[in-house]
Structure 1
Amino acid sequence: MTVEALIAFLAATHVDIAGVPLSGAALVAIGLAALLLLLLIRVWRRLRALRADLGVDLSGEGRIETLLRSQAEMAGRLQSMADIMGSRQAEMTRTLADRFDGLSSRIGQSLASTTDQTHSSLSALGERLAVIDRAQSRIADLAGDIGRLQDILDNKQTRGAFGEARMQAIVADALPASAYRFQSQLSNGKRPDCLVLMPNKAPPLAIDAKFPLEAYAALKDAETKDAEDFALAKLRRDMDVHIRAIASKYLIPGETQDTAFMFVPSESVYAEIGEKLPEILQRAYRARVVIVSPSLLMLSIQLVQNLLKDARMRQEAGRIQTEVRHLAEELGRLDERVGALKTHFNRTGRDVDEILTATRKVMQRADRIETLPFQDEGGAVPRPATYTSS
């Protein structure tokens, strides 16, 4: 057993003796006192045995002196032994106290660390539980949405409205409002679900969103091979009828494009048709009806969007060319006016040169007049007259 284990055992031990509670340290002190008493008894017995072996017969004063000397020696030994035991007991007490303090400090630190770790773990657990609760609520909302979608798909009218709404969302998100029309009437009285207006006054593109999903739903619900074959044949027949109806109603020469779109509102349905009914795709192509999924319709609409952008760019380019032509005409007129202004500047420069020439001649004549020798009768040059104010 290690010292730490012994200290922990003594600290945790409590004994009741005659109704008096004693701790482990008190029990150790009692044990040490009992051990000291046993040692004294053993010393006394050893002295008696030694006296019996030596045969010493002490009497009178000699016996008393011997007893006193033996008693003194025994007292000294007992005193030294008591001192040793006292120092050992004090040292053990200090050691136990130090060990108890260290153990209490470590236990306190361990408890504090454990409390912090537990608190942080509980906090992290609470955050994760909150995330799980949010995810669970989202899953519940998604399950509700899936249930509502299933209800929509189970009803024929709402299923048709769902496909039409999805097609309208794709078209409206990609094209400006002036580039399409919903439920617009043609010359034969038919109303396609959407007409995409093409640039450069080209005929519009007709889109139909009423895909027959009843047979597909029966195909997905089929549990036997015969039921699957029956549903597949019904889906083939319904799609063939719908393709012929689109071609007869929405392909009008000169009024619409020579190709129409049949919108399938699900990628999985389109993939199922391409896998199990590839002949239907070929038949629709020969009838000039293109079966498109949401992603294919989006790509087609983006192509139309690029064509519209190209048409607008060409229109703007023509307008820019017109403006550039007008700008060139204005530059020609500006060049004529600058030429005329240059001519005026040249004429003004010649006039200024002539004025400067005349000014120099006048200055030369004034200099000559000033240097003429004017003399009086006495031969002296008269001074200029000086006028005084009266």
Structure 2
Amino acid sequence: MSKGAGVQPGAPVQPDAKTARLIDDLRARAKALGFDAIGITSAHTRADWHEKLTIALDRGWHGDMDWMAETASRRAAPEALWPEARSIIMLGVNYGPDTDPLQLLAQKSTGNISVYARNRDYHDIIKGRLKDLAGLLARRAGAGVKVFVDTAPVMEKPLAAAAGIGWQGKHTVLVSREFGSWLFLGAIFTDADLPLSEPHAESCGTCRRCLDVCPTNAFPAPFQLDARKCLAYLNIELKGQIPRQYRAPMGNRIYGCDDCLAVCPWNKFASHTKEVKLQARDALTTPALADLADLDDAGFRKLFAASPVKRLGHARFIRNVLIALGNSGNPDLISRAEQRLSDPDPMIRAAAIWAFRRLAPSDRVAAIRQQTQSREHDMAVASEWDGDLTPPF
């Protein structure tokens, strides 16, 4: 094994016996650590990755995620992130659920949290394992290593596809024959030239279930995603109020959206092929909206300790819960929306008005509006009393 000694970018490296043993040991250690998939690709990316990223950014599909534009040059080229990088080991952990997450959409008084966020934060789950595996490579090969788990401008999905773990589906998520759309991904960059895995051919065929199931038509075309219309973007990344036209389609999704992942036909294998079972927390699987709406900041932090939901922050989380309340059709939840009409945070007050108006009888709405609207100094919040509750989508 060499470190940049005259190997052409992206060219397969014929391993000697020592390197072959190292790769076998890395694969064995990865499996012991709980990784379900492993592959190796070159740090020198295909030219079309930068082109595709540029098109998405130029069209504004990244929405408020300014960091995507700010880091575009490094995101499109791993060698720009670390010039010494020669090879990238991509790893995946299967988190496929045991039941269909779409069934929870019918339980309208229950909050629906994306499958990946029902476990402990995947950054914490994977990063320690990556460091362990990278340490083995460093010791055995004297190689430089860096590990990444969604914490740097790394295009994990195209890299994982190039490493043969799967392919990017029409919903832009990585799809695997063994694990469907349910893989956490992590990367180990190294300055060592390692034997490359064969890329996986795209295998979606004529299937378009992921495109057709999207509640907000967030896919302009197969393999393209306009994040500004994606419910997962809107209820996680968006810092302001959720646009009115997307509130009803949000249903009871209070963190993320699994629709396009959950309908993938390849998922049929995912729940049966886990090396290490990831246990979802019961409290995050079917939480009652009534209980969530009562959470103060301390209660929110306690409930979502070690969960990716905690990064959302209390205000945006309650915003999401209130939208779900408004979509519940449950009059027993009117008081939960009404109690938030005087919340100090204007984003929460605005969402509370929308939910209250959706649930409460018209005479009750008129009375509360008269009491509160004159005291409201935030024009955006005040406008919620007049906004269309069910605008055409």
* CA radius of gyration, larger in: 1
Higher relative contact order (CA 8 A, sep 6+): 2
Give TM-score, length-normalised by structure 1.
0.18
* Greater percentage in helix: 1
